[in-house]
Amino acid sequence: MRKHHIAAAALAAAALLPAIGHAFSFSLPDAASAITAASTDIEAAFSPDAGALDLVLKVIGSAKQSIRVSAYSFTSAPVTKALLDASRRGVDVQVVVDQRNNLVDDRSGKAAAALGALVTAGIPVRTISTYAIHHDKFLCVDGRTVETGSFNYSDAAARRNSENVLVIWDRPDLARRYLRHWQSRFNAGVPYQPRY
């Protein structure tokens, strides 16, 4: 009886193979071309030795109208400087960061320095404690481009950790989804008050 079931299953699978092969041969070229076309609008980089920080700075430098930052750890001097430079050239910059990581656990004072510099320059910064951790790490630029990945905006991410950065250029549909998420977190946050 068992041999009969195995034989029947084998026959059924053999009968389906031509149909499966036809379906795949028909759909694979379309899927492959979609991936190729999309890849021209995507960039990836890695740290500590393959350009992650440079790609983040490139995205910030590309902004003409707005930058929305969502961060877990925010201690990077180069990222802070790039955001300050963007603000000086008229870009609307706003930031939301994890409260605990950047206030309670900021033993080095680097988060306080970075966030304080932004607030002093008139950039709205909020901290959020609603979740166990606010682990989001992304930039949304001009409502069109999203930078995301594991990369924290920190010196450790740039120099010591194994991290990744992915940029999806000129995808306003995707950017809108990230902006909705960002706005919900910003709305739940409280304004950062510098310690000095």
5-32 confidence digits (pLDDT tens): 444 444 444 443 344 344 434 333 333 3
pLDDT higher than threshold 70 for residue 92 = yes
Sheet holding 190-191, edge to edge: 42-47, 163-168, 145-149, 138-141, 66-71, 92-98, 125-128, 190-191
Question: What pLDDT is recorded for position 194?
Answer: 87
Q: Kindly list the catalytic residues.
A: 135, 137, 142
End-to-end CA distance of the chain: 82
Q: CATH second-level architecture of 42-191?
A: 2-Layer Sandwich (3.30)
Question: What pLDDT is recorded for position 195?
Answer: 74
Is-contact 110 75, C-beta < 8 A? Answer: yes
Question: What pLDDT is recorded for position 50?
Answer: 84
Domain ranges of the chain: 1-40, 42-191
Of 191, 56, 179, 188, residue with least CA distance to 123: 191
pLDDT, mean of residues 64-76:
97
Question: What pLDDT is recorded for position 89?
Answer: 97
